[in-house]
Structure 1
Amino acid sequence: MATEEIQFSGVSATPGLSIADKLDNEIASLRDQVESLKRDLKLQTTTLLTSSSTLQLLRENTSKRPKSRKNTVLRSAELLAKADEQAAHKQQCLYRTCAPITTFKVRDPDPNAVDNGSVLGLRFEIMYKARFLRPYYVMLNRPYPNSRRLRIHRHTVPQCIPLPGLSARYLSPPTAKADDDDEDGAVKKQDLPAFVRALRRELVRYHNRTAVIGDLRSEAGLEKKPRKEVEVPIVDISAADAQAKQIRVEWGDGRSGRLVINDDGDIVKMVAQGENGQDREAVRQLLGGSARVEEVVGRLGEA
């Protein structure tokens, strides 16, 4: 029986993939293009709507109110309302970007709360993949008698963040010998600004590492992006620990590897294991001399 070669618009037919797989890849590619076009359309519409010339034209249409253009006036009023909403959204995003750490006061309703229920709240804004996440909160109070030292009361920080260590370093409790008012040099003062900066740095680093793992999965074809036709594909990339400092890599032929990175995304070490023990060739093919994990993402994208 003669075989017929089938050519699709985005993926060429090869013996490596079946027709059904090629169709799935083509559909996934088209869906990605549609989502990208929708995002571009929304961005361009917002840009035009909030421009000064467009706003001036809309205000003129709504102020004159000619009878023959009633529909135009109503449409202009709707567009002005959307422009006001977008301006408020832009202002909020600008504030969250320029003021990623804010403080506020809270009153603990518990009648037996320490320090008459006074609580200092810290709000941390984190951006992940061009979107603001739900803010993280840390609540502080003063439970120590005759001392103004702070202690963590409640928080929403992930367990993988070394919050107890940061608290012990920057928000040390008072000693038995002296309190905050003592001028003894042995008493270590609390440093709330340093604690806040260190905590936000840990939060940003953690989300950057998880974002890079997501980029690795996408470039390897493990997400919506169509998988590239390679000799031995990568079948799984995931975090191997809670802090996302170790990345697990698994190939289709049974090989597995562990990529270790530091807080800032620099590659510390990678080891791959195959049927015959340690596989240095797999490490060389994946890393290729990369010093940072972002460079590995670029290599997967070029493969």
Structure 2
Amino acid sequence: MATDERQSPELSVADKLDHEIENLRAQVELLKQELALQTATLMASESTRQILKHSSAKKRSRSKGNSRLVELLARADKQSAHKQQCLYRACASITTFKVRDPDPNAVDSGSVLGLRFEVMSKSRFFRPYYIMLNRPYPNSRHLRVHRHTVPPCIPLSGVAARHLPPPTAKDDHDRPKKQDLSSFARTLRRELVRYHNRTAVIGDLRSSAGLEGKREGAKEPEVPIIDISAADAQAKQIRIEWSDGRSGRLLMGSDGDILKIVVQGDNGQDREAVRQLLGASTRIEDITKRMEEI
């Protein structure tokens, strides 16, 4: 028994040291990220580039090489190119390109039209999504989706059926329906952006509930939430679980509006928990702010 009493303070001190080391490592990572951000901001500044170019010209006139200055100029040029690329990806969110199918038996002599979709969330670009279109119909210029990298949760087939109908489809006047490639591309990108916004807001809910790291100065609730996650592939349904066994389901619209929320407890539906969680919120972002204030 005496041995256990002597060991417990040592274990407590070791745990405190481990916790302090973890905090210091987290602070170091944050400082590295901040340093990289500030460096990139300075390198992308036009005034910084002018100062570097002026200093480089003065060094050359004195016939004195400066490898550090050359390195800074190269880094500034690289950052400027990255800035231009990000500006292009942000402004030209949908681009087209032509490719050729190497299959010798490909339709339309292998001609393929490609669509590239850029999506950004929380100041970061995702990997672009691609749609490949070809013309498989004889004596027709109608397009059809050939290959794609769109997630299965995006209703691509429905969007294509609405905006890229096959030539056999006819309207009330017995005329072939026209295809609208522009509407197809805009609708599809809107669905992609909505999907990523919904997944991002679920991450915000987890952070507000303290599931992605404890908020500084936040009080521990009486009955904490132990899990918040997407309940379906489209991220329109959110599963919420409490430590006392209660579970809830929140139904979210395509644009983040709250459609319905239900919380089940030991005695059936817990309407009081719904009122505490929802309040006067009409959008999912309102719940995030409400949880941060609790």
Same fold (TM over 0.5): yes
Q: Distance in 1 between matches of 2:14 and 2:278?
A: 32
Provide, for residues 138-182 of structure 1, a one-character-per-residue CA deviation record: whole Å limited to 9, x for no partner: 00000000100000000000000000001111110011789xxxx
Aligned to 2:272: 281
The letter of the residue matching 1:64 is K
Aligned to 2:253: 262
Q: Distance in 2 between matches of 1:67 and 1:28?
A: 51
* Structure 2 CA distance for partners of 1:189 and 1:27, relative to 1, 3 Å: farther
Provide, for residues 232-263 of structure 1, a one-character-per-residue CA deviation record: whole Å limited to 9, x for no partner: 00000000000000000000000000000100
Shift of residue 65 of structure 1?
Answer: 2.7
Long gaps (5+) in structure 1: 1-17, 179-183
Aligned residues: 280
Structure 1 counterpart of 2:139, from 131, 138, 146: 146
Shift of residue 25 of structure 1?
Answer: 7.7
Structure 2 counterpart of 1:124, from 117, 120, 125: 117
Q: What is the DSSP-based 3-state SS (H/G/I as helix, E as strand, rest coil) of the residue aligned with 2:187?
A: helix
Q: What is the DSSP-based 3-state SS (H/G/I as helix, E as strand, rest coil) of the residue aligned with 1:65?
A: helix
Question: Where does 1:50-199 land on structure 2 (aligned, <5 Å)?
Answer: 50-65=44-59, 73-175=66-168, 186-199=175-188
Let me know the Cα RMSD of the aligned residues.
Answer: 2.6
User: Does the CA contact (< 8 Å) of 2:258 and 2:283 recur in 1?
Assistant: yes
Provide, for residues 210-233 of structure 1, a one-character-per-residue CA deviation record: whole Å limited to 9, x for no partner: 000011111111113458511100
* Structure 2 CA distance for partners of 1:62 and 1:101, relative to 1, 3 Å: same
Q: What is the DSSP-based 3-state SS (H/G/I as helix, E as strand, rest coil) of the residue aligned with 1:144?
A: coil
Aligned to 2:286: 295
The letter of the residue matching 1:198 is T
User: Does the CA contact (< 8 Å) of 2:107 and 2:135 recur in 1?
Assistant: yes
Q: Distance in 1 between matches of 2:62 and 2:239?
A: 67
Aligned to 1:217: 206
Provide, for residues 235-292 of structure 1, a one-character-per-residue CA deviation record: whole Å limited to 9, x for no partner: 0000000000000000000000000010000000100000011001111111111000
* Structure 2 CA distance for partners of 1:29 and 1:207, relative to 1, 3 Å: farther
TM-score (norm 1): 0.85
1:239 paired to 2:233: no
Aligned to 1:200: 189
The structure that is helix-richer by fraction is: 2
Structure 2 counterpart of 1:46, from 23, 27, 40: 40
User: Does the CA contact (< 8 Å) of 1:221 and 1:228 recur in 2?
Assistant: no
* Structure 2 CA distance for partners of 1:22 and 1:224, relative to 1, 3 Å: farther
* Structure 2 CA distance for partners of 1:176 and 1:192, relative to 1, 3 Å: closer
Q: Distance in 1 between matches of 2:15 and 2:224?
A: 14
Provide, for residues 176-197 of structure 1, a one-character-per-residue CA deviation record: whole Å limited to 9, x for no partner: 789xxxxx65321111111111
Q: Distance in 2 between matches of 1:23 and 1:223?
A: 22
